[in-house]
Every structure is written in C-alpha cells, then in structure tokens.
Chain A
C-alpha cells in the first residue's frame, strides 16, 4: 500500500489520516504536513493511523515531537490506532503512556 496523507476538519480539529508505511522515508512528509498545520494555528490535531500497515520509531519520534509542538501552543494531539502491529510499537517503547491513543476518530473527538 502506497503512503498516503489526507487532512480534514472535524468538530474544529484537524484530522490527519495516514495510510501505508510510516517509516524513516515517509515520516518527513507527514512532519512537513503537521508542521504546516501548526504554523496555520490548527493545533488541535488527531492523527489517524488506522490505515498504517507499518510504523517504525521514526513515526513514533515524530508523534512525540508533534505532541510537544501542540502543547507549547495550547493545543492537543490524539492518535487513533487499532491494529495490533501498530499498538505493539507504542507498548514496547512505553509511549502508550505518553500519547493519547484511541480506537476510532469518534472516540478521539470525544476526548
């Protein structure tokens, strides 16, 4: 599955949907998109990883960076992930206790 990115608005929050493999090669594209959103003042962000088939530590590192950026601007970062493969990467690194994880965009919107 090719890497894909799309941004939509939902209840005042920017929902960034990611598909394909999020790794050392593709993470810079996501970083650029997220940085642009924050630059525009859209600091309440949901990153939807539902369609991500593979994620490595570069993806995790980016999410941590974005968490910091949004907090500095008084915003928030919520992440949607429901595949066992993706969740395992969060669990192994202990970042499931740092990043707000949700099983659906609806759940994240309620957070």
Chain B
C-alpha cells in the first residue's frame, strides 16, 4: 500500500525534502536502521538525477515519487518524463551510485518513451 506520494518541481532545492521523507517512510516501513542512510542516499540520487534530466530536457512537469511498503518490500518509484534515450551528463556516476546502494534497481519503460526508476529494499519477515 502507498505510504506517500511526493510531487516536486524539477528544482534542486526540493531534493532534500524527498530524501528526508524517504528516510522517515523507510523507517516506518521497517527497513533496518542500518540501511536508512542508504535509502536516503539512493532515493536522493535517483530524484536529483531525474530533476536534472527534466531541466536538461526542458520538462517543466513535477517529478513524482511514490513510496510504498508491503510486508515483503519497501519500494520507491521515481517517474522520469525526460526521453529515456537522453544520456546523462555526469558520466553515469549518479546511476552507478544508485544501483550500488539499492538492493534492487530497475528502469521500467513507459509508452511515451519515458521511464520510471524503481528501487526496492526487501524486508525480513
């Protein structure tokens, strides 16, 4: 079930807010305490990257972040409305860091040629 949906303008100063909410939601979603910093960093990376991609692609629409938890997983999705084939301009460092931090990370293609990034933290039951 969703625990939070966050919508922010594609502006860098709002990324910190999403990081803080993600950390709180992860704690409430029973992510182990030692992994909370990783959640904050990974979600912050994913959101910052999409904010910058929106800016570069001239997409004014908000960046939407969905945080969900169910008994088995804590999941975060970040919707990227920039064209999926637009390369990053940071040499891939942000994506590499996100993929290293989240136990599961995938890019889900959308029909409009965009994509949604899903980060998942399996929970011990």
Tell me the interface secondary structure of chain B in the complex: helix
Q: State the Cβ distance, A39 to closest chain B Cβ, in Å.
A: 23
**Interface residue count for B (Cβ, 8 Å)?**
21
Q: Is B44 an interface residue (CB 8 A)?
A: yes
Quote the shortest CB–CB distance from A56 to chain B (angstroms): 6
Query: Using Cβ atoms and an 8 Å threshold, which residues of chain A touch B15?
Result: 23-25
- Stretch in B61-69, B71-79, B90-98, B103-111 with 4+ CB within 8 Å of A: B90-98
Decide: A93 and B97 in contact? CB cutoff 8 A.
yes
Contact of B97 among A25, A57, A85 (CB under 8 A): A57
Check: B28 CB closer than 8 A to any chain A CB. no
Smallest CB–CB gap between B122 and chain A, Å? Answer: 20
**B100 contacts the other chain (Cβ, under 8 Å)?**
yes
Residue of A nearest to B47 (CB): A24
| B13 within 8 Å of A (CB atoms) | yes
For window 9-27 of A, CB contacts with B under 8 Å fall at 21, 23-25
Q: Which A residues are within 8 Å of any B CB, using their own CB? A: 21, 23-25, 54, 56-58, 60-61, 85, 89, 92-93
